[in-house]
Amino acid sequence: MNCELAHERIVLAAYGELPDEEIHALERHLTHCSGCSEERDQLQALRTLAALNPIVEPSPNLVARSRLRLEEVLDALPPRRWYQRWSQRVLNNVSQLQNAPVAATLLLAIGAGAGSLGGFEYAQARAAHAAQLAARNQPAAAQPAALRTPPQPPAPSAEDVASISSIVQRPNSNLVEVSYNELVPQHVQGSLDDPRIRQLLMLASEDAASAGVRDDSVGLLAAECRASGGCQAAGVRDALMVALRYDRNDSVREKALKGLEPYVTQDMRVRNAVLEALLNDPAPAIRTDAINILEPVEADTSVRQVLYSVANSDRNPQIRNVSRQVLSRVPEIQ
């Protein structure tokens, strides 16, 4: 038995899913392989620590959102070549030959039964949720139209939101309407300083499914930061820094950079994020904006070193020239 196969069987053995005849082979391998034996001990210690915490069942919305993200990642994977598929098929066939046919049949039967039971329970939970929504809305429907007020749902948690579908700001108004999806699509309306709206905007800034939603959410968060210090709210500044570092859309990163500009002189984390953008961002316009944003703190040692490095060795001549111009405005650091 090689170490790669032993690693797979260590996990199965830890959860009691490894057949007896394979357990003996695994134990013989662990007797002579200190690396695999250490991995087995670490896994057992991890299970012991995990057992000290209560088991929390994930909400249906978290499961749905996780499946959507998993599908996005799987769709982004490059297709495997023919020889990779052929070798994987051979390995699967060999693995199947090593297992007892009766055990394999039992596992298939158990899996099918568990899947059917899970689907039945999920359908029941969804029907109960729909019935609760109908019962909640029924009294409001019985009231006269003049007395009705639009219900305001409570602030959603990250586990309750599957995705953000749209963000609309009313013209000449501070009101923002965010539509988000649970098992049943919902929407909430409020001003930009409403904690519910801020939380949904921060969730939308990480929506991998829609660049437009990310662009709208980051744009609103950045505008609020520049206008009234909205970045003081918990998590807003961090959301903009994550967008600046990792978002693939140039427009989203540029808006995040603009939103962080007022804080480059007071927050070292923001300064470091802007320096990373200057060094690594693929868009020359964003790197140029980063140089201009760093100008008020150009006397800082780390900023000065980055500007010198960019001015002398960057591949982009425009970036080199802008860096030199910024450095030339301060005689004491020439």
Rg for the chain, CA atoms, rounded: 28
**Looking at residues 86-115, what average pLDDT do you find?**
55
Least confident of 53-57, 134-138, 196-200: 134-138
Do 235 and 287 belong together in one domain? no
**Distance between CA atoms of residues 314 and 278, nearest Å:** 11
Three-class SS state of 278: helix
| Per-residue model confidence as pLDDT tens digits over 58-78 | 776 677 777 777 877 777 777
Q: Tell me how many domains the chain contains.
A: 2
Do 236 and 329 belong together in one domain? no
pLDDT at res. 141: 45
Select from 295, 290, 276 the least CA-distant residue to 319. 290
User: Whole-prediction pTM value?
Assistant: 0.49
Do 183 and 233 belong together in one domain? yes
| Per-residue model confidence as pLDDT tens digits over 290-320 | 988 888 887 788 888 888 888 888 888 888 8
State how far Cα 158 lies from the chain centre: 11
| Residue 59 is assigned to a structural domain of this protein | no
**Other CB atoms within 10 Å distance of the CB of residue 312:** 10
**Distance between CA atoms of residues 54 and 183, nearest Å:** 26
pLDDT at res. 35: 86
Do 165 and 232 belong together in one domain? yes
| Residue 31 is assigned to a structural domain of this protein | no
Instruction: Give, as one character, the DSSP assignment of residue 273.
Output: H
| Residue 26 is assigned to a structural domain of this protein | no
| Per-residue model confidence as pLDDT tens digits over 203-245 | 888 877 778 888 998 888 888 888 766 577 677 888 888 889 8
| Residue 132 is assigned to a structural domain of this protein | no
Select from 202, 154, 194, 153 the least CA-distant residue to 175. 194
Q: Are the beta carbons of 291 and 307 closer than 8 angstroms?
A: yes
Do 292 and 251 belong together in one domain? no
- Which percentage of the chain shows pLDDT scores above 90? 4
Do 174 and 229 belong together in one domain? yes
Residue type present at position 22: E
- Ranges 116-120, 149-153, 326-330, most confident: 326-330
| Residue 99 is assigned to a structural domain of this protein | no
Do 292 and 250 belong together in one domain? no
| Per-residue model confidence as pLDDT tens digits over 127-157 | 665 666 565 555 544 445 544 555 566 666 6
CB-facing half-sphere around the CA of 179: CA atoms within 13 A = 8
**Tokens linked to 122:** 């999920």
Beta strands in 148-263 (DSSP E): 163-169, 175-181, 185-191
Do 209 and 288 belong together in one domain? no
Instruction: Give all strands of the β-sheet with 175-181 in edge-to-edge order.
Output: 163-169, 175-181, 185-191
Average pLDDT, the chain: 75
Do 254 and 170 belong together in one domain? yes
Burial 263-293 (b: 16+ CB within 10 A, else e): bbeeeeebbebbbebbeebeeeebbbbbbeb
Please provide residue 303's backbone torsions phi and psi, each rounded to the nearest 5 degrees.
-65, -45
Do 203 and 247 belong together in one domain? yes
pLDDT at res. 18: 81
| Residue 290 is assigned to a structural domain of this protein | yes
**Tokens linked to 93:** 């066939």
**Distance between CA atoms of residues 70 and 307, nearest Å:** 40
pLDDT at res. 251: 92
Do 168 and 256 belong together in one domain? yes
| Residue 318 is assigned to a structural domain of this protein | yes
**Other CB atoms within 10 Å distance of the CB of residue 71:** 11
| Per-residue model confidence as pLDDT tens digits over 26-52 | 888 888 888 888 888 888 777 776 666
| Residue 240 is assigned to a structural domain of this protein | yes
Residue type present at position 143: Q
**Distance between CA atoms of residues 219 and 230, nearest Å:** 13
**Looking at residues 93-99, what average pLDDT do you find?**
50
User: Where in the sequence is the domain holding 231, given as residue range(s)?
Assistant: 155-263
Residue type present at position 148: R
Torsion of CA 315, 319, 322, 324, to 10 degrees: -30
